[in-house]
Amino acid sequence: MRDSRPRLLTNKTPLSRTALTRSARPTRAAATGALAAVWLTLQAVMAAPPGLSQSSTARSQERLSYTGLIEKIEAGQVARIEVDSSRGVAQVYLKERSNVSQEVTLFADPEDNQALLEAARDNDVDLDAQPSPDSNAVFWFITNALLAFLLIAGLMMILRRSSNASGQAMNFGKSRARFMMEAKTGVTFDSVAGIEEAKEELQEVVTFLKKPERFTAVGAKIPKGVLLIGPPGTGKTLMAKAIAGEAGVPFFSISGSEFVEMFVGVGASRVRDLFKKAKENAPCIIFIDEIDAVGRQRGAGIGGGNDEREQTLNQLLTEMDGFEGNTGIIIIAATNRPDVLDSALLRPGRFDRQVEVSPPDVKGRLEVLQVHARNKKISPDVSLEAIARRTPGFSGADLANLLNEAAILTARRRKEAVTMLEIDDAVDRVVAGMEGTPLVDSKSKRLIAYHEIGHAIVGTLVKDHDPVQKVTLIPRGQAQGLTWFTPSEDQALISRSQILARIMGALGGRAAEQVIFGDAEVTTGAGNDLQQVSGMARQMVTRFGMSDLGPLSLESQQGEVFLGRDWMTRSEYSEEISARIDAQVRSIVEHCYEETCRLIRDSRVVIDRLVDLLIEKETIDGDEFRRIVAEYVDVPEKESYVPQL
C-alpha cells in the first residue's frame, strides 16, 4: 500500500502542470479546453479513494484472528507487524509469505492489546506503527479542491476579460463627453473678472436658458453657437465653467481631441451619439474645448487631409445646422487658433457669435488680482493697483500664477503675509525665470553692468521710450543681468517714434560696450537685442509703411504649414524691392545706433557712477536711477533724441 500512493501523486503532477501552462496562453479556446481537461482529470482522480489499489484489496481479504496471531508469534512464524491505531487493525507479514499480509482486528482499548505487544517483544518481532491513510486522503482532497478552485477562478477571469473587451468594442463609437445634470463647478460669473464684454455676451445665453419667453416674445432666437477666441490663459474655459454654474441646465463638456481616433468613422459616430444625448436632455449646453483639433480647414496642408478628422468635422457641421434642427441645444466652443478653423464652421447658423476674450487692461488686471487675492494673506502695504500697472500684457492665468508664486515665496521665507518684496520677486521669476547666483566682482561683472546701464540710460534720455523700473545684475534664466521697463499705459497702437525709441533702447547695451571698451571687447550679450532690433526695423518697412518706400504693406504674416497653410509661399515683391527693403532696414538701424553711441559718449560721467553703484548694490530702482541721472545730465527736449530718417 505504501508503494501505490506515491505512484498516484506522480501521475497527477504532470497533468496539473500541463493544465497551468496551457491556461497561461492568451487564446481563449485553448485556455478553456485545457481547464476542462484538468477538471475532468481531477474528477476521475477524486473518484478513486486514495491509498487503495488492487493488491491492497486482495491482501485485505486474508484475515487472521487475534488468538491465531499470538500463536503464530510464539511459534516464530511472524516476520513483522504494522499497526494502524486509527483503524484498529494490524497487518501481519509471515516469514514464509513475506510479500502477503494478513489483517488482524485489534481491541479498541489499547490496554487489551498488551498480550500482543509482550508476545512480539519476547519473540523479537518487528512492530511498526503506520499512519492512517484517512489523514492523507483529507490532505489530498483539500489540495485538489484548492487547485480546482484556482483553475475555475482563472477561467472566470479569462471570460470576464473577454466580455469586457467585447463591451469596449461595442462602446467604441459612444461619446466620451462628461455629463452633469446640474453642473456644480463652483465657478460663477462673480469668479470671472477682467473680461466684462465677454461676460455680457454670455450672460444672455444664461438668461435665455432660464427665461426664454423674454426673447421669444419679440421673435428673437438665441444663437446656436458661441465661439470663444483668445490667447491662452485669458479665461475661456473658466468662462464656460461659469456658464455651467449659472445656467442650471444639463451640461456636456468634451475636448475636440476626444472625437478623433485612428479608425475612420469613430469620431463621426461619437458626434452623433453626443447630439443624441443632448437632444434627450434639451435644453442643455455642449462645451467643446480646443475645437481646432477637429475643426481645422478641410483639404489643406501637406498631403491633403485626415479622412477621420474631416468626416468628424462634416458630421459636426451637419448636427449643428443640418436637415434636422437642434432646438434648445447651445454649443460653446473655445480656441486660441481661429485662423485655422474651417469657414463652414464659423458661418452664422453654427457659430453665430464669436466672442473675443482678450488679455485684460489695467482695470481688468486689478479686478483679476482682487479675485485671486481673496484667499491669500496680503499685507496692507501691498498695492494691487501698482501690481496691475506693472504687469501689462499679463493674462488672467499669469496674474493667478504671480500671486501664487508670491505666496510660495512668503511661506518659504516664513512670513505671515505677502509683501511687495515677494510680489516683485514673483514678477521677476514669472517673466525672466529663477534667480541665479550673483556674479563675483570681476571684469565680466563690470562689463555686464555697463551693458545694462547702457540700456537704462538710453531708455531714460529718449523721450518716447518706456520709463526704467529697475536695473539688476542678479542673473535670471539665461540672462546675466536685466533692465526692466514699465510702460505708463497699455499701448494698443504704437507710433513711429516709439518704435525708433525701442530700437535705440535695445541698442544701448551694445553701444555701451563699444564706446567704453572698444571694438575688441564687444561681447555676444547683445545677440537677443539685435534680433529684436532687426525684427522691429523690418516690420517698419514691410508691414507698417514707415520708410522711404512709402505706405506699402509688402509682407503679411505667413501661417505655418502644419496649421493648414500653403506649402509654397509666394513672393509679394520683386528682387529690386527686396534690395531696397534691406537697404531701408540697414539705414534705420545704423541711424539709431549712431544716435545711441552719441548719447553714451555724452553721458559717460553719470554712466561710470551708476556702474559703480550697480556693482555695489546689484539692483537700482527706477526712481533712484532717474534722480542720479538728473544730477549729472541736462536733458534737453527729448524730441531731438529721435533720429530723423
The full set of domain ranges for the chain reads 1-48+133-170, 59-131, 178-356, 362-431, 443-641
Output the CA–CA distances (angstroms, integers) from residue 618 to 147, 480, 613, 629, in the order listed. 77, 12, 8, 17
> What was the pLDDT predicted at 598?
93
> What was the pLDDT predicted at 124?
73
> What was the pLDDT predicted at 593?
95
Region 322-351 average pLDDT? 83
| Catalytic annotation present for 452 | yes
Given a cut of 90, whether residue 500 has pLDDT beyond it is yes
How far apart (Å, rounded) are the C-alpha atoms in residues 295 and 297?
Answer: 7
- The answer to whether domain 59-131 has CATH 3.90.1300.10 is no
**Which superfamily is assigned to 443-641 in CATH?**
Peptidase M41 (1.20.58.760)
Given a cut of 50, whether residue 59 has pLDDT beyond it is no
How far apart (Å, rounded) are the C-alpha atoms in residues 20 and 388?
Answer: 70
- The CATH number of 362-431, from 3.40.50.2020, 3.40.50.2000, 1.10.8.60, 3.30.950.10, is 1.10.8.60
pLDDT band of 173, cuts 50, 70, 90? low
Strands 126-129 and 225-229: unpaired
Given a cut of 70, whether residue 183 has pLDDT beyond it is no
Out of 200-214, 411-425, 528-542, which region has the weakest mean confidence (pLDDT)? 200-214
pLDDT band of 532, cuts 50, 70, 90? very high
Output the CA–CA distances (angstroms, integers) from residue 263 to 173, 259, 311, 356, in the order listed. 10, 11, 11, 35
Output the CA–CA distances (angstroms, integers) from residue 636 to 195, 461, 499, 594, 609, in the order listed. 42, 9, 21, 18, 21
Q: Is the pTM of this model over 0.85?
A: no
- The CATH number of 178-356, from 3.40.50.620, 3.40.50.300, 3.30.930.10, 3.30.413.10, is 3.40.50.300
Residue type, 84: D
> What was the pLDDT predicted at 172?
47
**What's the pLDDT tens digit per position in 603-627?**
999 999 999 999 988 889 888 998 8
> What was the pLDDT predicted at 594?
94
Region 625-643 average pLDDT? 65
Given a cut of 70, whether residue 25 has pLDDT beyond it is no
Long-range interactions of 413-419: CB distance < 8 A, separation 24+: 416/377, 417/377, 417/378, 417/379, 418/376, 418/377, 418/378, 418/379, 418/382, 419/379, 419/381, 419/382
Contact 476, 498 (CB under 8 A): no
How far apart (Å, rounded) are the C-alpha atoms in residues 458 and 625?
Answer: 12
How far apart (Å, rounded) are the C-alpha atoms in residues 407 and 412?
Answer: 9
pLDDT band of 22, cuts 50, 70, 90? very low
Given a cut of 90, whether residue 596 has pLDDT beyond it is yes
Which residue of the set 258, 452, 513, 595 is catalytic? Answer: 452
Share of the chain above pLDDT 70, in %: 77
Contact 223, 355 (CB under 8 A): no
Can you tell me which residue has the cell 501698482? 386
Any alpha helices (H) in 24-83, and if so which ranges? 28-47, 54-60, 66-74
Q: Determine which helix (DSSP H) or strand (DSSP E) holds 117, and give its type and residue range.
A: helix 114-122
Which residues neighbour 279 within 8 Å (Cβ) at sequence distance 6 or greater? Answer: 326, 329
∠ Cα 365 370 375 (to 5°): 135
Contact 58, 4 (CB under 8 A): no
**What's the pLDDT tens digit per position in 390-422?**
888 888 889 999 999 999 999 999 999 999 989
Average pLDDT over the chain reads 77
Residue type, 378: I
Q: How would you class 416 by CB atoms within 10 Å of its CB: exposed for 0-12, middle for 13-18, buried for 19 or more?
A: exposed
